[in-house]
Homo-oligomer: A and B are copies of this chain.
Amino acid sequence: MAGHLLDKGHRLTVWSRTPEKSNPLAAKGAAVASSLEELAHSCDIVFLCVTRNEDVEQCVRGLQPGAKPGFLVVDHSTVSPVLARAMHGFLSEHGANFLDAPITGGSMGALKGQLTIFCGGEQADFDRAAPVMEAYAKRAELVGGPGLGQTMKLANQIAVGGALLALCESLAFAKKAGLDLAQTRELLSTGAAGSWAFENYGPKILAEDWSPGFSVTNQRKDFAYTLEAARLLDSAVPGTALVDRLLSRLEEEGHSDWTTAALYQTLVESGFESWT
């Protein structure tokens, strides 16, 4: 994402919790800040992409003392809507601005500059960030006020989890029934069962290739925020809760870094009564 900003001619200063990660960008012409405060002081907009609530909070609190008037943090991490609203509030109290802006499209979308970005916050902040995000997004939309960008991302993860379950459960059943898996995947892809997951994860399942893609740990992190948000909204998400329980088995077995399509293997190894 930062590389695309450089390629499009933006002036870029970078900072990473793991300093050596900045080297390739420095070699391409990016300045490197020595602290979050220095980074904030040298930038109009800081784009943040970390993992969990606590990472976002630590970064935002580290940036704030260096903020100049009109300073804007755009957070591309997937975290809790509650934390996003707290960060909006915190920066706003200090005269700065925050846009929650989780991304979808995976590492391939980032490499190709084809991410989709769900933004929550003020229209004026979105309007400032949008022309910059164009460098790595095929699409960025303001979906509502503070926290609603994260909420849209969680709705997306609910649907992604359900599509994963649909794929893995049907192929595990086909496997046990003695159907040809390649034929099953191909036939089911073309009709009412068709999905992005069938097209993209299906081949990994046929190859039983669980090498890292979107990991079990990252999916469960997103589900933890989803289940928290659903509880606060009193919204029923039984499918998400089920997929989370299935993935927890992979974690218990030491496969946290496997791609989520390994849920297929959990189902193949389970009996009819196991999860009902």
List A residues at the B interface (Cβ < 8 Å).
81, 104-106, 116, 118, 139, 141, 143-144, 148, 151-152, 154-156, 158-163, 165-167, 169-174, 176-180, 183-184, 187-188, 190-198, 200, 226, 229-231, 233-242, 246, 267, 270-272, 274-276
Point out the residues of chain B lying under 8 angstroms from A163, CB to CB.
162-163, 166, 192-193, 195
A162 touches B166 (CB 8 A): yes
Expressed in whole angstroms, the minimum distance between the Cβ of A218 and any Cβ of chain B is 13
B267 touches A236 (CB 8 A): yes
Contact of A173 among B154, B167, B179, B184 (CB under 8 A): B154
B154 touches A193 (CB 8 A): no
A192 touches B235 (CB 8 A): no
**Would you give 19 A-B contacts (Cβ < 8 Å), ordered by A?**
A81-B177, A143-B179, A151-B174, A151-B179, A152-B174, A154-B173, A155-B171, A158-B173, A159-B166, A159-B198, A160-B193, A161-B166, A163-B192, A166-B166, A169-B238, A173-B233, A176-B234, A237-B272, A238-B275
Point out the residues of chain B lying under 8 angstroms from A229, CB to CB.
173, 177
* A116 in contact with B238 given A144-B178, A148-B177 (CB within 8 Å): no
B162 touches A179 (CB 8 A): no
Q: When chains A and B are docked, how far (Å) is the Cα of A163 from the Cα of B166?
A: 6
B173 touches A143 (CB 8 A): no
Point out the residues of chain B lying under 8 angstroms from A195, CB to CB.
159, 163, 194-197
Q: Which of A144, A179, A180 has the most CB of B within 10 A?
A: A179
Contact of A236 among B143, B177, B275 (CB under 8 A): B275
Q: Which chain B residue shows the least CB distance to A235?
A: B176
Point out the residues of chain B lying under 8 angstroms from A191, CB to CB.
104-105, 116, 156, 196
